[in-house]
């Protein structure tokens, strides 16, 4: 059994280009697998609360000292973390908003990147606690930013996933989607070709 965790973060939901790419990839991938299970999250339709002082305090309070409210907050985070732990393949549909990841995805990260759960601090620095996972990122962008200083998204994803011990990451980009129909159509066609190759 191959467990797939699928997370979309476009504010356009299933109509978002990043969502469409991720969905196409999953459909193609599952057609090649003998046995698979899929867990999907749409962070726009069902957003994770943004991290605040109350939530952070709940995370760092020792389990035996947590209030009932804090236990509920931590339980929500634990569900997300367990989905990550169980996943063999993680598929992320992520648009570029204002040169970064969507705030809904950042809120998700703030609930799964927890010291003592998905990484730990050591004398030699942080050590990831998740391993043996493959990540595919489907990134849709209105302009062209790849391999420029304005692409903060790619290094962020590598760093934050790496913090948790996940380093096997592949990206498929569709760039220039707001630069005219000809550029957009070619970008999406090229991305589709790439995602089908990766699914195979």
Query: Measured between alpha carbons, how far is residue 54 from residues 15, 40, 126 in Å?
Result: 34, 27, 24
Q: Does 10 appear as a known binding residue?
A: yes
Please give the backbone phi and psi of residue 156, each rounded to the nearest 5 degrees, phi first. -60, -50
* Radius of gyration of the chain, Cα coordinates, nearest whole angstrom: 18
Segment (H or E) for 57: helix 53-60
Q: Which two tokens stand for residue 115?
A: 């010291």
Segment (H or E) for 163: helix 153-163
Annotated binding site for FMN: 10
Annotated binding site: 10
């Amino acid at each position: 059994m191959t467990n797939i965790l699928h997370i979309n973060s476009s504010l356009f939901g299933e109509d978002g280009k990043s969502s469409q790419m991720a969905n196409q990839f999953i459909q193609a991938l599952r057609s090649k697998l003998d046995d698979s299970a899929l867990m999907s999250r749409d962070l726009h339709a069902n957003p994770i609360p943004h991290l605040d002082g109350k939530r952070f305090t709940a995370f760092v309070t020792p389990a035996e000292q947590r209030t009932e409210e804090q236990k509920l907050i931590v339980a929500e985070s634990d569900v997300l973390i367990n989905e990550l732990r169980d996943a063999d393949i993680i598929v992320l549909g992520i648009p570029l908003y204002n040169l970064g990841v969507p705030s809904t995805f950042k809120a998700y990260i703030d609930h799964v990147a927890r010291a003592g759960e998905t990484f730990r601090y050591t004398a030699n620095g942080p050590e990831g606690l998740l391993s043996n996972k493959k990540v595919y990122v489907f990134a849709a962008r209105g302009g062209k930013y790849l391999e420029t200083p304005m692409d903060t998204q790619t290094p962020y994803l590598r760093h934050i996933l790496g913090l948790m011990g996940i380093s096997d990451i592949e990206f498929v980009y569709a760039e220039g989607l707001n630069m005219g129909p000809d550029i957009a159509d070619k970008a999406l066609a090229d991305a589709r070709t790439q995602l089908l190759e990766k699914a195979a």
